[in-house]
Amino acid sequence: MSGLAQRLGAIQYDAQGRLRHLLTLEGLRRETLEELFTLADSLVEVGARSVKNVPLLRGKTVVLLFFEASTRTRTTFEIAAKRLSADVVTLDVPASSTSKGESLLDTIANLQAMQTDAFVVRHADSGAAHLIARNVAPQVAVVNAGDGCHAHPTQALLDLYTIRQRRGSLAGLKVAIVGDVLHSRVARSQLAGLHLLGVSDIRLVGPATLVPQRLAQLGARVCHDPREGLADVDVVMMLRLQRERMAGGFVPSDREYFELYGLTETALTVAKPDALVMHPGPINRGVEIASAVADGGRSLILPQVTNGIAIRMAVLAQTAGRGADTDA
């Protein structure tokens, strides 16, 4: 699969080898991730200041283009862009031209004609960010804020960054990704990022309808028994159970899912005592995670959100801020 990863990743670098877009973690260089983490280290304290901004994107226009509902991701991107001093426009897609029949690429072309510098895009279709990136002008950056079931690279970056913050390094860790992996763009990006950072023991845990065996080809061990999947792990990365998918018969009920696959304190006993618990949110308490675990001492759910702003600042600074005309 490395050839495919390279093809997915190649478009993300410009001719000088600098990060132009962030569409997926597949095919990225490891040093690119390290650079983003280092930059995030320097930006994370901006939020603690009384004047919470730096001039890295002053004069730049960033358009947040959310074709799919999202509160957390959109808000953190908006805060991140503003803390970089960018002019930020959030497009209300349901009221926009696309709902009047305008195509995705026509919408992009029109916004680009308004001299925008970066698009942050959330779309329900896998590959939408790649499509946009192939069709924007050379000076425009595209950041994928989640495309279909394919990728959510900034979420994965903030997850990896949060682990790195707590453990110093990811090398040698055992990581379980638990839940609806089949439909999860977060899981795919987490997998790509974990591989990139040298994590080899990765388990995908869930029922066979949500974690089919073919997902093992992504480079992880598929476990349908949570006791096996969580055994001795350092990190448990939970995924939201996408209830809307249940109508398709993926799992019989919330109750059965929670009984068999929900992350409870009991289920966690097989993991390492200091195992980290993560969740990209929004969480379904009592469906995929018990409140006691979500709010417990091992939970990193809120630090993830805080780190999300620093990571997104780093990504926007690296992509939209590249070039000689920045104030960086």
Partner 1 sequence: MPETTRLTLRGGRVINPASGTDAQLDVHIEGGRIIGLGAAPDSARGQIIDVAGHWVLPGLVDLSGQVGSPDALSRGELLAAAAGGITQLAVAPRVDAGLDSPAVIGRLRDGARALGLLRLAPIGALTAGLCGEQLAELGLLRRAGCRLVGQGGQPIGARVLRRAFEYARGHDLTVVVDAEDAQLAAGGCMHEGAVSAQLGLTGIPVAAEVAALSLALALATTCDTRIHLHGLSSAAGVALLRAAKGAGLPVTADTPIWNLHYTDLDIGAYDPAFHLRPPLREAGDRAALREALADGTLDAVCSDHRPYDGEAKRQPFARCAAGVAGFEALLPLILDLVQGGGLPLPRALAAVTSGPAAVLGDGGRLAVGALADLCVVDPGRAWTVDASTWHSGAQCTPVWGRTLRGRVLLTLLGGQAVYRLQEPADGR
| Residue 229 to residue 222: CA distance in whole angstroms | 8
175, β-bridge pairs? 202, 235
Q: Residue 87 Cβ, how far from partner 1 at the closest point, in Å? A: 28
Q: Which is nearer to partner 1, 53 or 135 (CB)?
A: 135
String of DSSP letters for 82-104: HHTT-EEEEEEGGGSGGGGT--H
Is there a contact between 289 and 263 (Cβ–Cβ < 8 Å)?
yes
Q: Which stretch binds partner 1 (CB under 8 A): 13-21, 146-154, 227-235, 256-264?
A: 146-154
Q: Residue 77 Cβ, how far from partner 1 at the closest point, in Å? A: 20
Q: Is 217 in the site for partner 1 (CB under 8 A)?
A: yes
Q: Which is nearer to partner 1, 51 or 100 (CB)?
A: 100
Q: Is 222 in the site for partner 1 (CB under 8 A)?
A: no
User: How would you list the strands of the sheet with 87-92, edge to edge?
Assistant: 87-92, 61-66, 118-123, 141-147
Q: Residue 249 Cβ, how far from partner 1 at the closest point, in Å? A: 12
Query: What residue has token string 């680009």?
Result: 112
| Residue 125 to residue 265: CA distance in whole angstroms | 36
| Residue 91 to residue 86: CA distance in whole angstroms | 15
**Number of neighbours of residue 171 by Cβ within 10 angstroms:** 10
Q: Is 147 in the site for partner 1 (CB under 8 A)?
A: yes
Identify the H or E element spanning 69.
none
Q: Is 125 in the site for partner 1 (CB under 8 A)?
A: yes
289, β-bridge pairs? 263, 285
Q: Is 130 in the site for partner 1 (CB under 8 A)?
A: yes
Q: Is 205 in the site for partner 1 (CB under 8 A)?
A: no
With CB under 8 A, what is the number of residues at the site for partner 1?
A: 31
Tokens of 12: 């993300």
Q: Pick from 126, 139, 165, 264: which binds partner 1 (CB under 8 A)?
A: 126
Q: Pick from 48, 114, 138, 214: which binds partner 1 (CB under 8 A)?
A: 214
Q: Is 1 in the site for partner 1 (CB under 8 A)?
A: yes
Terminal Cα distance for the chain, rounded: 37
Q: Residue 113 Cβ, how far from partner 1 at the closest point, in Å? A: 17
The footprint of partner 1 (CB under 8 A) covers 1, 3-5, 7-8, 10-11, 26, 103-105, 123, 125-128, 130-131, 135, 147-151, 185, 188, 214-215, 217-218
